[in-house]
Amino acid sequence: MTKRALTIPDLLSILRILIAPLLLVAGLTGQTELFLFLFLLSLVSDGLDGFLARRFHQVSQWGAQLDSWGDLATYLAAPVGVWLLWPTIVHQELIFILLGLGSFLLPILLGFCKFGRLTSYHTWAAKTAAILLGVSAPLLLLGGPPYPFRAAIIVFLLAEVEEVAITLRLKRWRTNIPSFWHCCRLPPE
């Protein structure tokens, strides 16, 4: 087995994994400003890791998996922190929050059942949904209107349906598939 040096994108994904428990601590201790800072830092580092990996030709299966673990850690810790710090908002948006969490968890469970690991497709739709959620969720928490968040959840749901379709179509595990259309164009296995 060859050793591989950690890249800056890898370190950014690791940072997101390390931030996740801090989001929970901020929630448990009632520190809304710290939570928002950590949440935004996590979102920015999520956007940067993929960009830097592509820009500097450091895209790898291991990096894609690490990024997916960072997503998983963030998407599980952040709702708990939000629930602790903004229970009124959670109550008002519960249907959309549950829809988002459910649609997030289904492709993960399916990927583990079929391939024994996170899928790590990083589709265009998932990236779009992440950007929309990354803008609309903090806006909502800061007292903004709920409609951008709700729309982002619908886009997220559609992105996750696409990931389910990709998983059902693939015969073996692959990373970084931009869309279902790209999946259909892959050579037969």
Is residue 7 domain-shared with residue 79, that is, in the same domain? yes
Is residue 141 domain-shared with residue 174, that is, in the same domain? yes
Residue where the block lists tokens 């929309």: 132
Mean pLDDT for 47-61 is 88
* Structure confidence at residue 123 as a pLDDT band (50, 70, 90): very high
The token duo for 23 is 């989001």
State pLDDT tens for residues 129-145: 999 999 999 999 999 99
70 touches 46 (CB < 8 A): yes
Is residue 62 domain-shared with residue 102, that is, in the same domain? no
* Structure confidence at residue 188 as a pLDDT band (50, 70, 90): confident
Long-range CB contact pairs, 79-88, < 8 A, 24+: 80/23, 80/24, 80/27, 81/23, 81/24, 81/26, 81/27, 81/35, 81/39, 82/27, 82/137, 82/141, 83/27, 84/27, 84/28, 84/30, 85/26, 85/27, 85/30, 85/32, 85/35, 85/141, 86/32, 86/141
State pLDDT tens for residues 59-118: 888 888 999 999 999 999 999 999 999 999 999 999 999 999 999 999 999 999 999 999
Is residue 122 domain-shared with residue 49, that is, in the same domain? no
Buried b (16+ CB within 10 A) or exposed e, 79-93: bebbebbbeebeeeb
Is residue 80 domain-shared with residue 137, that is, in the same domain? no
* pTM, two decimal places: 0.88
Is residue 162 domain-shared with residue 113, that is, in the same domain? yes
Query: Mean pLDDT of all residues in the chain?
Result: 94
Amino acid 2: pLDDT: 53
Amino acid 3: pLDDT: 62
Is residue 30 domain-shared with residue 59, that is, in the same domain? yes
Which residues constitute the domain of residue 131? 87-189
Domain final position from 85, 120, 155:
85
**In the predicted structure, residue 24 carries a pLDDT above the cut 80:** yes
Domain final position from 33, 63, 85:
85
Number of domains present in the structure of the chain:
2
Is residue 94 domain-shared with residue 65, that is, in the same domain? no
